[in-house]
């Protein structure tokens, strides 16, 4: 059966070669000598600031995104409406603990979407390493307590995202698992390899079958101190206070920029998420992915590249606490009967590029591998089968053969900044960020020019 993408063969030159290597060189030259990603990240971080869904910061970010895409020479740019949850942190995030006659305050932050404590929650704190231990301890040991999940991220993983997924479950689902056994509140060790004083937030997902209990993250430094007391069997009482609240849903937007291709109804989308937590400036997470995606298509347009597919940059709203933007984008593709050939997400920070993690089938993988030698001179060497991204994931539903990819960076320092006050513009290196934008442009160029079949 002849597939639609073979229609592109006449525009291609067969095997890739010298022209392609020269064009990729021009992509990198444009990025490295006239790049705009770093300055654009500066304005996002310093003029817009953090931008949690439904906040004024998010509204400013939407306006910033649209104005920038228009200014950058995209053929068209527009806003795609989406309703998002609106959660506010409030002004109180306190955990005082009393142990051995002493009382100290720990550095905590509410997990996103947490319920408030409604006054001071006073309860004994009990340390639990993991869900198995929670089950073994039984309801008698858990009921009425604040459960402290203390398992640290496993340092043995070289790709730190594996360590993150290993412990992320306590932040995501620890509150409901503990509530099922009668707990009154939950504190989780911050998800970072660093030992520091910054608590790292992130979303908590409640299971509606159990009571919703307040949930917070504690800095790794203070988590170690708390664990020290509890492991010595010193009784610890916590006094926890959160006044966060969930408001009515708010109208927000994905921001979309498009460069017309010869095929108007089949797309390559690249994107990052425009929303961030209300900590720091959302520089690595995901300001970097936002400016990578904007800059990659700007570079192709500036170099006069005529794409076969229609190229889109999408700045997704609400990745952090609802993923409504990703779902709304996939839904809109369905209504308009638009097809996706490929989508690439950048949401692993502005660090040195390493390659792409690919949700593709083995035949597609082979075809992509034939293209990757052109990227080796730019130190892009990781091309493996794996996860693509939260925002582009929903495209799979209507595009079973689409190439879905996640941009892979050097992950060693990402969690020093992730969801914490430390995630500011100054934490991003200009050169590493710039190389990321060039890497995104280069892969879009190759996938567009040499369509990968099923
Ligand atoms: Zn992110």
pLDDT in tens, 124-135: 999 999 999 999
Ligand 1 centroid to residue 291 C-alpha, Å:
13
Q: Which of 101, 217, 99, 71 is nearest to 152 (CA)?
A: 217
Ligand 1 centroid to residue 225 C-alpha, Å:
29
Ligand 1 centroid to residue 349 C-alpha, Å:
8
Question: In the prediction, which pLDDT does 282 show?
Answer: 98
CB neighbours (10 Å) of residue 231?
A: 10
Cα 366 to chain center, whole Å?
Answer: 28
Ligand 1 centroid to residue 54 C-alpha, Å:
17
Q: In tens digits, what is the pLDDT along the chain, a chain of 454 residues?
A: 444 444 444 344 446 777 999 999 999 999 999 999 999 999 999 999 999 999 999 999 999 999 999 999 999 999 999 999 999 999 999 999 999 899 999 999 999 999 999 999 999 999 999 999 999 999 999 999 999 999 999 999 999 999 999 999 999 999 999 999 999 999 999 999 999 999 999 999 999 999 999 999 999 999 999 999 999 999 999 999 999 999 999 999 999 999 999 999 999 999 999 999 999 999 999 999 999 999 999 999 999 999 999 999 999 999 999 999 999 999 999 888 899 999 999 999 999 999 999 999 999 999 999 999 999 999 999 999 999 999 999 999 999 999 999 999 999 999 999 999 999 999 999 999 999 999 999 999 999 999 999 7
Question: In the prediction, which pLDDT does 454 show?
Answer: 73
Ligand 1 centroid to residue 346 C-alpha, Å:
8
Q: Are 58 and 86 in contact (CB under 8 A)?
A: no
The strand pair at 245-259 and 76-88 is best described as: antiparallel
Ligand 1 centroid to residue 360 C-alpha, Å:
22
Long-range Cβ contacts of 399-402 (<8 Å, 24+ apart):
399/333, 399/339, 399/340, 401/361, 401/364, 401/454, 402/340, 402/341, 402/342, 402/343
Ligand 1 centroid to residue 319 C-alpha, Å:
7
Question: In the prediction, which pLDDT does 18 show?
Answer: 79
Ligand 1 centroid to residue 138 C-alpha, Å:
35
Ligand 1 centroid to residue 348 C-alpha, Å:
7
Q: Are 236 and 125 in contact (CB under 8 A)?
A: yes
Ligand 1 centroid to residue 383 C-alpha, Å:
21
Side by side, the strands of the sheet bearing 102-106 are: 102-106, 93-99, 236-242, 121-128, 146-149, 185-189, 215-218, 108-110
Q: Which of 321, 323, 326, 393 is nearest to 357 (CA)?
A: 393
* CB contact set of 320 (below 8 Å; sequence gap of 6+): 52, 53, 112, 202, 203, 273, 275, 276, 277
Q: Are 384 and 164 in contact (CB under 8 A)?
A: no
Ligand 1 centroid to residue 201 C-alpha, Å:
12
Ligand 1 centroid to residue 342 C-alpha, Å:
20
Question: In the prediction, which pLDDT does 17 show?
Answer: 76
* CB contact set of 14 (below 8 Å; sequence gap of 6+): none
């Amino acid at each position: 059966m002849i597939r639609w993408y073979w229609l592109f063969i006449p525009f291609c030159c067969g095997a890739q070669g010298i022209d392609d290597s020269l064009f990729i060189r021009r992509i990198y030259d444009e990025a490295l000598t006239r790049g705009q990603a770093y300055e654009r990240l500066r304005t996002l971080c310093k003029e817009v600031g953090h931008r949690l869904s439904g906040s004024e910061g998010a509204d400013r970010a939407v306006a910033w995104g649209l104005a920038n895409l228009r200014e950058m020479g995209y053929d068209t740019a527009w806003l795609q409406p989406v309703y998002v949850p609106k959660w506010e942190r409030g002004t109180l995030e306190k955990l005082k603990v009393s142990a051995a006659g002493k009382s100290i305050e720990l550095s905590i932050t509410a997990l996103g979407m947490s319920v408030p404590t409604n006054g001071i929650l006073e309860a004994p704190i009990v340390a639990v390493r993991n869900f198995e231990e929670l089950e073994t301890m039984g309801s008698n040991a858990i009921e009425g307590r604040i459960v402290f999940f203390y398992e640290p991220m496993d340092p043995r993983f070289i790709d730190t995202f594996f360590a993150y997924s290993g412990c992320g479950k306590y932040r995501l689902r620890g509150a409901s698992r503990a509530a099922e056994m009668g707990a009154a509140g939950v504190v989780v060790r911050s998800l970072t390899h660093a030992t520091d004083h910054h608590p790292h937030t992130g979303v908590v997902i409640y299971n509606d079958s159990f009571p919703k209990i307040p949930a917070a993250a504690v800095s790794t430094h203070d988590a170690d101190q708390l664990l020290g007391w509890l492991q010595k069997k010193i009784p610890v009482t916590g006094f926890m206070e959160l006044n966060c609240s969930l408001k009515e849903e708010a109208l927000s937007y994905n921001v979309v920029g498009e460069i017309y291709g010869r095929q108007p109804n089949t797309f390559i989308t690249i994107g990052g998420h425009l929303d961030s937590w209300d900590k720091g400036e959302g520089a690595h997470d995901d300001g970097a992915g936002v400016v990578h995606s904007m800059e990659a298509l700007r570079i192709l347009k500036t170099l006069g590249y005529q794409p076969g597919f229609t190229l889109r940059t999408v700045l997704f709203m609400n990745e952090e606490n609802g993923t409504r933007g990703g779902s709304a984008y996939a839904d809109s593709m369905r209504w308009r009967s638009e097809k996706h050939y490929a989508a690439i997400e950048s949401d692993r920070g502005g660090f040195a590029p390493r390659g792409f993690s690919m949700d593709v089938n083995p035949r597609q993988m082979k075809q992509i591998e034939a293209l990757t030698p052109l990227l080796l001179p730019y130190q892009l060497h990781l091309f493996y089968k794996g996860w693509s991204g939260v925002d582009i994931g929903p495209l799979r539903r209507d595009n079973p053969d689409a190439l879905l990819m996640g941009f892979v960076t050097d992950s060693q320092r990402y969690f020093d900044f992730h969801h914490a006050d430390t995630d500011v513009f100054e934490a991003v290196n200009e050169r590493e960020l710039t190389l990321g934008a060039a890497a995104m442009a280069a892969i879009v160029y190759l996938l567009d020019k040499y369509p990968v079949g099923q």
